[in-house]
Structure 1
Amino acid sequence: MADFFPEEELLAAIDLGSNSFHLAIARLDHGEVRKVASMSEKVQLAAGLDADKVLSLEAQQRGLDCLSRFVGRLGSVTPQRMRIVATNALREATNAQEFIDKAQRILPKSIEIIAGREEARLIYLGVSHTTAAGGRRLVVDIGGGSTEFIIGQDFEPLQTESLQMGCVAYTRQFFLDGQINPMSFERAKAAARKEVTAIAAIYRETGWDTVVGSSGTIKAARQLLMQQGLTDEQGHITYAALEKLREQILKWKHTDDIYFEGLKEDRKAVLPAGLAILMGLFEILGIEKMGYSDGALREGVMYDLLGRFRHEDVRDRSVQALMARYYADPRQAERVALTARTLFEQVADALKLDEEDGDLLRRAAYLHEIGLAISHGSYHRHGAYLLEHSDVPGFSKVDQLRLSFLVGLHRRKLRVETRAQVLHAGGQSLLTLCLLLRLSVLFHHSRYDQVVPTFVLSIIDEKTWQLAVDQHGAEWPMLQADLQQEIVQFANWGIELDIVQLIKAEIEA
Structure 2
Amino acid sequence: MAAIDCGTNSVRLLIADVSDVSDDPGASAVSDVTRQMRIVRLGEGVDRTGRLSPAAIERTRVALVDYAADIAEAGVDAARMVATSASRDAENAADFRAMVLDTLGFAPEVITGDEEARLSFNGAVRGLTAEAPFLVVDIGGGSTEFVVGERDVDAAISVDIGCVRMTERHLRADPPIPEQVAAAEEDIAAAVDRALAAVDGARARTLVGLAGSVTTVAALALELPEYDPKRIHRARVSAADIAKVTADLLGRTAEQRLRYPVMHPGRADVIGAGALILRIIVERAGLDAVIASESDILDGIALSLA
| TM-score, normalisation: structure 1 | 0.54
8 Å CA contact 1:136–1:210 kept in 2: the answer is: yes
| 1:190-205 mapped onto 2 (5 Å cutoff) | 190-204=186-200
Give the corresponding residue for 1:401.
none
2:65 is equivalent to residue 68 of structure 1: yes
Say if 2:156 is the partner of 1:160. Answer: yes
**Helix, strand or coil for the counterpart of 2:235?**
coil
Give the structure 1 partner of residue 267 of structure 2.
267
Distance 1:202 1:111 in 2: 29
| 1:214 partner amino acid | L
Return the letter of the residue paired with 2:163. Answer: C
Q: Does 1:241 align with 2:231?
A: no
Q: 1:250 to 1:140 in 2, by over 3 A?
A: closer
Alignment check: 8 A CA contact 1:50 1:56 kept: no
Structure 1 108/79 Cα, relative in aligned 2: closer, same or farther at 3 Å?
Answer: farther
Contact 1:190 1:280 in 2 (8 A): no
* 2:297 aligned with 1:297: yes
Match of 2:185? 189
Q: 2: CA distance between counterparts of 1:256 and 1:121?
A: 36
Q: Which amino acid aligns with 1:125?
A: N
1:84 is the counterpart of 2:74: no
Q: 2: CA distance between counterparts of 1:171 and 1:180? A: 9
| C-alpha distance in structure 2 between counterparts of 1:177 and 1:186, whole Å | 13
Amino acid at match of 1:278: L
Residue equivalent to 1:52: 49
Q: What secondary structure does 1:45 align onto?
A: coil
Q: Which position in structure 2 is the counterpart of 1:171?
A: 167
1:40 aligns to what SS in structure 2?
strand
Instruction: Please give the per-residue CA displacement for 1:14-61, whole angstroms capped at 9, x wherever unaligned.
Output: 111111100000113453221111211001111142623011111111
- For the pair 1:99 / 2:86, whether they are aligned, the reply is no
Q: Give the 3-state SS of the residue equivalent to 1:73 in structure 2.
A: helix
- Distance (Å, rounded) in 1 between the aligned partners of 2:291 and 2:43: 27
Q: Which residue of 2 aligns with 1:349?
A: none
Contact 1:182 1:250 in 2 (8 A): no
Work out the number of aligned pairs and report it: 291
Aligned to 1:147: 144
2:12 corresponds, among 17, 22, 38, to: 22
CA contact (8 A) 1:175 1:273 kept: yes
- CA shift, 1:113, in A, is 0.4
For the residues of structure 1 that align with 2:200 and 2:45, how far apart are their CA atoms?
36
Matched residues in 1 for 2:17 and 2:254: separation?
Answer: 39
Given that residues 246 and 279 in structure 2 are in contact (C-alpha distance below 8 angstroms), is that contact kept between their aligned partners in structure 1? Answer: no
Helix, strand or coil at the partner of 2:165: helix
* Structure 2 residue identity aligned to 1:289: A
Q: Is the 8 A contact 2:158 2:195 kept in 1?
A: no
| Residue matched to 1:109 | 106
Corresponding residue for residue 439 of structure 1: none
Aligned equivalent of 2:231: none
Structure-to-structure mapping, 1:476-487, within 5 angstroms: none
Give, in whole Å, the separation in 2 of the partners of 1:160 and 1:22: 23
What residue in structure 1 maps to residue 230 of structure 2? none
Q: Is the 8 A contact 1:185 1:272 kept in 2?
A: no
Whether the 8 Å CA contact 2:4–2:14 is kept in 1: the answer is yes
Looking at structure 1, the residues matched to 245 and 268 of structure 2 have their Cα atoms a distance apart, in angstroms, of 13
2:255 corresponds in structure 1 to 256
CA contact (8 A) 2:135 2:201 kept: no
Take 2:104 and 2:133, find their aligned partners in 1: how far apart are those partners? 38
In structure 2, what is the equivalent of residue 129 of structure 1? Answer: 126
Deviations along 1:402-443, one digit per CA (max 9) or x if unpaired, are xxxxxxxxxxxxxxxxxxxxxxxxxxxxxxxxxxxxxxxxxx
Q: Secondary structure at the match of 2:284?
A: helix
In structure 2, the partner of 1:208 is 204
Alpha-carbon distance in 1 for matches of 2:199, 2:97? 35
DSSP-derived class of the 2:104 partner: coil
Which is bigger in relative contact order (C-alpha 8 A, separation at least 6)? Answer: 2
Paired amino acid for 1:21: V
Larger helix share, 1 or 2: 1
Could you tell me which runs of 5 or more consecutive residues in structure 2 were left unpaired when the two chains were aligned: 22-28, 225-233
**Structure 2: how far apart are the matches of 1:42 and 1:189?**
25
Alpha carbons 2:65, 2:103 under 8 Å: kept: yes
* Aligned partner of residue 46 in structure 1, secondary structure: coil
- The more displaced of 15-24 and 264-273 is 264-273
Which structure's CA Rg is the greater one? 1
Deviation at 1:68, TM superposition (A): 0.7
> What is the rounded CA distance, in whole Å, between the counterparts of 1:205 and 1:106 in structure 2?
40
Q: Percent of aligned positions with the same letter in both sequences?
A: 29
**CA distance, structure 2, for counterparts of residue 292 and residue 205 of structure 1:** 18
Partner SS state of residue 71, structure 2: coil
Give how far 1:138 is off: 0.8
Tell me how far 1:182 sits from its aligned partner.
2.5
**Aligned partners of 1:186 and 1:276 also within 8 Å:** no
Code of the residue aligned with 1:172 in structure 2: it is E
TM-score by length of 2: 0.88
State the match for 2:229 in structure 1: none
Q: Report the Cα distance in structure 2 between the residues aligned to 1:206 and 1:180, rounded to whole angstroms.
A: 31
Question: What's the offset of the Cα at 1:127?
Answer: 0.7
Paired position in structure 2 for 1:282? 282
> How far does the alpha carbon of each residue in 1:339-397 deviate from its partner, in whole angstroms, 9 at most, with x for none?
xxxxxxxxxxxxxxxxxxxxxxxxxxxxxxxxxxxxxxxxxxxxxxxxxxxxxxxxxxx
Cα deviation 1:435-458 (Å, max 9, x = unaligned): xxxxxxxxxxxxxxxxxxxxxxxx
